[in-house]
Structure 1
Amino acid sequence: MNKKDIRRMLLPAALILTMAIAPMFGVKNATAANPDPFFDISLLAPNTNPARNQWATLMTEQLPKIGIGIDTFDHTGWAQISPRTWSHPGPYPIPTYAEGGFDILFVGWSWGLDWDPTGLFDCESWTPDGDNFYQYCSEDFDAALSSYSQAFLVADRITYAEQMQQILYDDLPALCIIYPRSLYPMAEGVSGMDGLLWASVYQPMEQWSVEGETELHYATPADFVDFHILLYESVYDAQWLRQIYNGLLERENGTREWI
């Protein structure tokens, strides 16, 4: 037997031996432990929205990784959230969660095409006078908001809106963890659909068409519940009611300007 054959026999034996004795040296799977928290907070989150439930739960897992401990995760209904936020009885400012207020509240805001944050971040809208439970106040923001609300030209409104957004970005009265985007898969040949107008309940289906077809079939991911144009809560109800009760004003498909 030559040396080459001996090496071929010894190599598998060496590998088997290495694998056999590895447990003796205490080989363990590496797991990253969370650092000691710098401070602890309590999280308050509504349990009424499946997507929001997932994001709130995810944050309870992620915050400890950067040294923010979770004391309480209060996953509850709006009836329990309201007394700690918008309907807090005072005194003000709203205190911490341990004192009957809140530390962090997970909430989602849905905006129309004409963004109007009046009542949400301005100084005069501090709870209980408005929805500014953030208890944020900025004279610069209020001035930009006032100019924005009184401007008639779209270009001017965009300028003031950008000023407000920059102020909020710098001051961070709220931290955005997700900007949802709507996805609308559709068959080839469908034209005329504007995803932004549709999501904002501004587009009638009469603007849609399917090449070579006389019928259009639309699938919605939820059941219809409300049948009153002024009393609906779900955006899906709003979208189909919009097909029955058209508005007096329409937005042009493509430019999205009022016509």
Structure 2
Amino acid sequence: MSTRSSSNVTPSRRTVLQASLASALTAVAGPGRAATPFFKLYMMIPNNQPARMVWGTLAAAQMSRIGIDVVSSFAPFTVIGPRRAKGDGKTHVDGGWDCYLERYLYSSIKPSPYALFGSTEMPPNGQNFYYVDDKEIDRSLRAVDSSLNEADRLKAYHDFEKRWYDIQPMTILFYPQDVVAVNPKLKGFDATTYTPTFYPQPERWTIEGAGADATAAFASWQPPSSLIPMYSIGYSDSNVFGPAYNRLYEYKSWEDKTLVPALATGHTMSADGKHWVVTLRQGVKWHSGEEFTAEDVKFTWDTMMNKAYGSQLQAVCARVFGDTSAYKVTGKHEITVDLPTYSIDFLNTLMGAFAIMPAHAYKDIKPEALRSHVASTWLGSYTVKTSDGKSFTARGAVGTGPWIPMGFDPARKAYGFKRNEAYWKPHTGNVKTFYVVNINGTDSVLSALKAGEIDAHDPMYDIGPVVSTIDPKWGKVLTFDSYKWQHICYNLKHPVFGLGIETPLGKSDPSRAAEAAAYIRQAISHAMPREQIVKEIAGGYGNPGTVPMAWSAPEYDHDLLKPIAYDLDLARKYMEKAGYVY
């Protein structure tokens, strides 16, 4: 973590980005487009991140330079999400999608590419929204997931990276740094929040001079889609539900990314990695006062495994467990698991990234009703009965976490929390009331920080290019390695750049259709001015991208993954390899 600050110049975010785009377009000027476009592509650019809207516009312009007719539009994820989640592979004109931009990450700090790119993880019950279906990638992902030996696993990661680098299933543009500004009086904000395993952690916050009963507010750009953990791992959802729940294991800190016990106290594992006995923490209470037991863990896994609930995490659970007979309660605070084969995702993802849900509070909610229930929307209240005959009025999630939800305030656009005084580990800060506030726009969030209306915000505001406008008297700028990447996603069932069957090469020789599609994606990749995007649009906060692996992760093969050259002539040669003629 580092701090940066600068002068008091105050151009608007839009002014800065417009200048950045103009500069970038000038810098990357090159050969003109084909006289007649070779094919049409619809690109959806999410409208919730200003800088991404700029490099999305630039990316569309660059594609046109190599003969692709790009129809781009700014769209919210409420539009993009349903199109990509259907799982039918249809193109944009048929109600699906062709291409969109995304900022993404793995569910755990230990990279788990199988869950995103394995051919068994397709939607609607998996997260491979892109339809990556490549035998070599699958082979390497299985080895990553099943290797007990660290050296074997590292080789498998590198095999995955090499194959990805060669066929470019997506265009990885760059690895961003997370840049946020906080109240200078705020102490204890020591981790980036845009990852499912690191939520805002106000139980650690101290606001200097605020006494023992401080109130804090955190800004999140986009309203959540669902506040049931198994329905989303996105930042807009986890920013809100994260403080209410716990996982079996958690990370010690952002600096020390070591898994440590949380609701679990430990586990044993057999030599072959299949047999596990997980011991659970005793004395933990749900917000309702009900005792946390192994039945809650079983309920959580049962619910995620049940396709009727429609969780996008169902596929990874089914891959790891096989079926629900793999785990059983063997004591009030013990659960025993027999996996069909060892999986790294059991510890790192299922136990280290997914929150545990309360059986007593959620078990009677029908699958078709869960997404619209108060437990998911935090609108209104509902009554939870406990085993001792008492009643608890819930205004959102019922968790074991450090913060008890107080519901959503529509007038304030804020989700409220009060401190859980019965939390199983001590609060170390002075914050007793906490809000997550939805604020749209970088200028708006910085104005709110300057006015003292918020104390911190998530990284989606992309303040990097405007840090010079932040006076250190009201804003302390922090930078973090994000462990994420920004990429252009492709529907790999698209007949041109996904399957290749509608390319000239694919039509003349169907056995080479997939090869032709890869040529097109390689062409697009070489048409992207990554260094210019990082420098001119991201404010220098990042590194040019190659593959979906965090730049600073130990698994990233820096010897293999050389920068992808920006070269329009080379891009055109790849288009010609696919059979197109300029």
Superposition TM-score, scaled by structure 1 size: 0.61
In the alignment, does 2:100 pair up with 1:106? Answer: yes
Instruction: Report 1:128-147 matches (<5 A).
Output: 131=128, 133-134=130-131, 136-139=133-136, 141-147=137-143
Structure 1: distance between partners of 2:135 and 2:215: 50
In the alignment, does 2:89 pair up with 1:88? Answer: yes
Q: Which runs of 5+ in 2 are unaligned?
A: 1-28, 261-582
Measure how far apart 1:50 and its partner are. 3.2
Partner SS, residue 182 of structure 1:
strand
In the alignment, does 2:168 pair up with 1:169? Answer: no
Measure how far apart 1:87 and its partner are. 0.7
Instruction: Report 1:1-259 matches (<5 A).
Output: 35-37=32-34, 39-46=37-44, 49-51=47-49, 53-64=53-64, 66-70=65-69, 72-73=71-72, 77-78=79-80, 81-82=83-84, 86-88=87-89, 104-108=98-102, 109-112=104-107, 113-118=109-114, 120-123=116-119, 131=128, 133-134=130-131, 136-139=133-136, 141-152=137-148, 157-188=153-184, 190-196=186-192, 198-203=193-198, 204-210=201-207, 214=211, 215=214, 217-222=216-221, 228-230=227-229, 235-253=235-253, 254-259=255-260
Counterpart contact for 1:229–1:241, Cα < 8 Å: yes
Deviations 1:4-50 (CA, angstroms, capped at 9, x unpaired)? xxxxxxxxxxxxxxxxxxxxxxxxxxxx7862417533222336543
User: CA separation of 1:161/1:71 partners in 2, compared to 1, >3 Å: closer, same or farther?
Assistant: closer
Deviations 1:100-148 (CA, angstroms, capped at 9, x unpaired)? 6999512424423233222544455679997374554142x22221111
Q: Which has the higher helix share?
A: 1
Q: CA RMSD in A?
A: 4.2
Counterpart contact for 1:225–1:237, Cα < 8 Å: yes
One-letter amino acid of the structure 1 residue matched with residue 240 of structure 2: W
Partner SS, residue 43 of structure 1:
strand
One-letter amino acid of the structure 1 residue matched with residue 106 of structure 2: W
Counterpart contact for 2:43–2:70, Cα < 8 Å: no
One-letter amino acid of the structure 2 residue matched with residue 37 of structure 1: A
Q: Which runs of 5+ in 1 are unaligned?
A: 1-31, 90-95
Structure 2: distance between partners of 1:126 and 1:199: 24
Structure 1: distance between partners of 2:226 and 2:74: 30
Partner SS, residue 202 of structure 1:
coil
Structure 1: distance between partners of 2:245 and 2:124: 35
Partner SS, residue 219 of structure 1:
strand
Counterpart contact for 1:123–1:136, Cα < 8 Å: yes
Superposition TM-score, scaled by structure 2 size: 0.31
Counterpart contact for 2:105–2:195, Cα < 8 Å: no
Partner of 1:18: none
Q: Which has the higher strand share?
A: 2
Q: How many residues align structurally? A: 217
Measure how far apart 1:252 and its partner are. 0.3
User: CA separation of 1:78/1:213 partners in 2, compared to 1, >3 Å: closer, same or farther?
Assistant: closer
Q: Which has the higher contact order (CA 8 A, sep 6+)?
A: 2
Structure 2: distance between partners of 1:72 and 1:169: 27
Deviations 1:202-226 (CA, angstroms, capped at 9, x unpaired)? 3433234456654463430437556
Counterpart contact for 2:42–2:97, Cα < 8 Å: yes
Counterpart contact for 1:136–1:173, Cα < 8 Å: no
One-letter amino acid of the structure 2 residue matched with residue 170 of structure 1: D
Q: Percentage identity across aligned positions?
A: 18
Partner SS, residue 171 of structure 2:
coil
Measure how far apart 1:251 and its partner are. 1.2
Moved more, 129-138 or 249-258: 129-138
Partner SS, residue 181 of structure 1:
strand
Counterpart contact for 2:39–2:68, Cα < 8 Å: yes
User: CA separation of 1:189/1:79 partners in 2, compared to 1, >3 Å: closer, same or farther?
Assistant: closer
Partner of 1:6: none
Larger radius of gyration: 1
Measure how far apart 1:186 and its partner are. 2.3
Partner SS, residue 246 of structure 1:
coil
Counterpart contact for 1:44–1:105, Cα < 8 Å: yes
Counterpart contact for 1:190–1:211, Cα < 8 Å: yes
Partner SS, residue 87 of structure 2:
coil
Structure 1: distance between partners of 2:34 and 2:118: 33
One-letter amino acid of the structure 2 residue matched with residue 105 of structure 1: C
One-letter amino acid of the structure 2 residue matched with residue 206 of structure 1: E
